[in-house]
Amino acid sequence: MTTLVDFARDLRDRIDIVDVIGNYVQLTRAGSNWKGLCPFHREKTPSFMVSPTKNMFHCFGCHVGGDVIRFVELIEHVEWKEAVKLLAERCGIPMPKLSFRESVRSDVKKTLYEINDLSAKHFEANLCAALQQEGHPVREFIERRRLDSETIQKFRLGLALDEWGRLTEEIRRAGYDLTQAVGAGVLLKHPDSGRIYDRFRGRFVFPICDNVGRPIAFGARLYLPDAPDDQPKYINSPETELYHKGEHLYAFHLAKETIARKRYAILVEGYMDAIRLHQAGFTNTIASCGTALTSDQARHLRRLCDRVVFVYDGDDAGQKAMLRGSLVLLEHDFLISIVALPDDHDPDSFILAHGADKFREHLERASDFFEFFLERAKAMFGVDNVSAKTQVFRFLVPILRKVTNAIALETYLRRTAAELDTDVRALRRELAKASDKIEVRSTPPRQAAISTAPVIERYVLKLSVENEELRFVILEHIQPEWLTNELVRKWFEVCRDRTLDGLDVDWESLLSQCETEAGEQEAALLRSIALEESEPLEAVDELIIRNVAARLEQAYLRKEWGKIVETCAQLFPNEPQGEASPEVAKRIKTELSRYARVAREVRPDPLVWRNTGFC
């Protein structure tokens, strides 16, 4: 029986990676590769490379990369198995049969998806039927909210009738176990009697979908004008096997393409806010569903864009939610802007009252998040005395501690100092007191590690992998310890060991050893070397290899010679051999002269060296 891993490997080899990625990114040919703007970070100059021959992609800007399955995982925000399934469906290839355990779990999830989809269709049919009835309360609700038919269909909006068992009966008739429907979150089981009944009754229903548009949960609000006051306005599905509210954003499946294209997202609080903005043409809008923004949500969003515009309610609660959300987004290096609506409006009510054009004006005038909260702090505490200024700064400290960019942090500190009429150095001292260590990252750690690998060493590794004819020459003439970059040295040794063991040496076999999260930095290095433009491999011969080896050995020997000189200076500070025994002094002198002589003798041919392009 074919395993899913074997199936995925075969599928990956059959799929044209350029064709798949080309559906999301505009690619142009660049030699044997294809190039485009990276969909995972903002850039003006294309640094996103796709290689059809190596069957991989890599961004030289953010260092994200992998095979075609990994690309679908990232761009569609799905798990690996789901990405395989999506690609298989694209190619019309049936998925293989799974093991018993995998099959059971897959069947459970499949059933939950089916029950949720059946429920969504049930609610949609209820709404459609109700809209045909003259004077039905939901018609008045739709007219009052000015929802058009296209929006109703796009968001699969529905109606839960004010009955206890209508959906329960439909699920039973469809042949599903009602306990599974309870697990899906659409039905409830009474703790005492054990009776199973509908969770949503007499409510307007908002399906919550996963990243590919499948209903996984529901939100529902009261719509009847005479609804009891003791009932909550909104109720939502509980967390289930499919739905974890801290991982999903409402309308993400509808907004993701526009977000990726525009490189920013509009973030609102409620279902109706998101629906209203989509209907008004702002299709890069998503909602946090009235819950606090989480790190998981921010991480998913970061793959598509690097800027978020908050448009929360203008009241105090909305502003506090924006502050909490900003602190989460700062941890993921987002640029953050805030649209300040009047206190008595949310995005839904504002567009209903003033129209889309007026909202667009507010969007274009969005404030930098720090300016917004600086003004809020001044309004709360004032700046008339020392105590007030101290309170303003204390309010801003949690924000400043999250800012990871040194330039931005310095700008915000100077701006605060100007507003408080205070020396910026005093603010720096206060901030240092509030935080034992402020982490300022001007270069991401992964990028820094990759960029330190010398060009010549990267090329040696590339030759070792891709030039089979010269591989033994390279391994014969170049010693691993001559390579200064730790990661390049490690993978050069892997190439040597695999060659001596008679194993394949190619990028796929090397990348397969970078499976863990900790290995992603090394995978990024390997992909960047595999896809970077360098000297043509076919132009390299044994003479060039000998010259490259000579340059590496010479640099290594000079470094070792320097270490010995430094050690001597530390051991005998007055003179290298003054305090040593004659035997030790003689040995040190001999070692120094040997390194000096060898370093002089190991010389690459200047003409050949210039022709390699590494000087």
- What is the CATH classification number for the domain harbouring 17? 3.90.580.10
Please check whether residue 8 lies inside any domain of the structure.
yes
Domain interval for residue 542: 448-601
262 with 193, same domain?
Answer: no
Point out the domain boundary residue: 401, 434, 467: 434
Q: Within this chain, do residues 494 and 589 fall inside the same structural domain, yes or no?
A: yes
DSSP string for 391-424? HHHHHHHHHHHH---HHHHHHHHHHHHHHHT--H
Mean pLDDT in order along the chain per 10 residues (615 residues) = 75 89 89 87 85 89 88 83 86 70 64 95 97 92 94 97 95 94 95 94 95 92 83 91 89 90 91 96 90 85 87 82 90 90 88 95 93 91 91 92 86 93 90 61 44 79 84 85 87 85 80 65 82 66 81 81 69 52 61 61 53 49
For position 615, what pLDDT does the model report? 46
Q: Are residues 493 and 460 in the same domain?
A: yes
Of 287, 291, 261, the C-alpha closest to 275 is: 287
Asked whether residue 607 is domain-assigned, the answer is no
Q: What is the predicted pLDDT for the residue at 602?
A: 57
Residue 147 contacts residue 215 (beta carbons within 8 Å): no
d(CA 132, CA 134): 6
Please report which helix (H) or strand (E) contains residue 216, including its range.
strand 215-222
- Whether 398 and 357 map to the same domain: the answer is no
What residues pair up with 215 in beta bridges, in sequence order? 209
Q: Is residue 244 part of a domain?
A: no
| CATH classification at residue 333 | 3.40.1360.10
CATH of the domain at 154: 3.90.980.10
Q: Domain containing 488 — which CATH number?
A: 1.10.860
Residue 243 lies in a domain: no
228 part of a folded domain: yes
| Distance, CA of 107 to CA of 103 (rounded, Å) | 6
Dist. CA 228–CA 216, nearest whole Å: 28
242 in any annotated domain: no
Whether residues 318 and 175 share a domain: the answer is no
The 8 Å CB, 24+ separation contacts for 583-590 are 588/564
What is the count of structural domains for the chain? Answer: 5
Structure confidence by residue, pLDDT tens digits, 69-95:
999 988 887 778 888 988 988 888 887
Give the residue carrying structure tokens 């690998």.
453
The domain boundary residue, chosen from 434, 461, 481: 434
Distance, in Å, from the CA atom of 355 to the CA atom of 279, rounded to the nearest integer, reads: 11
CB-based contact 48:57 (threshold 8 Å):
yes
Q: Does a structural domain hold residue 534? A: yes
- Same domain, yes or no: 202 and 134: yes
80 and 141 co-located in one domain: no
**498 and 595 in a common domain:** yes
Q: Is residue 161 included in any domain, yes or no? A: yes
Q: Which of 29, 61, 91 finishes a domain? A: 91
Res 589: pLDDT: 61
Q: Are residues 64 and 87 in the same domain?
A: yes
Helix (H, G, I), strand (E, B) or coil at 86: helix
**pLDDT score at 420:** 93
Lookup: tokens for 418:
């100007």
**216 and 172, same domain (yes or no):** yes
pLDDT reported for residue 42: 73
519 & 574 share domain: yes
Tell me, yes or no, whether 186 and 275 share the same domain.
no
Asked whether the whole model's pTM tops 0.75, one would answer: no
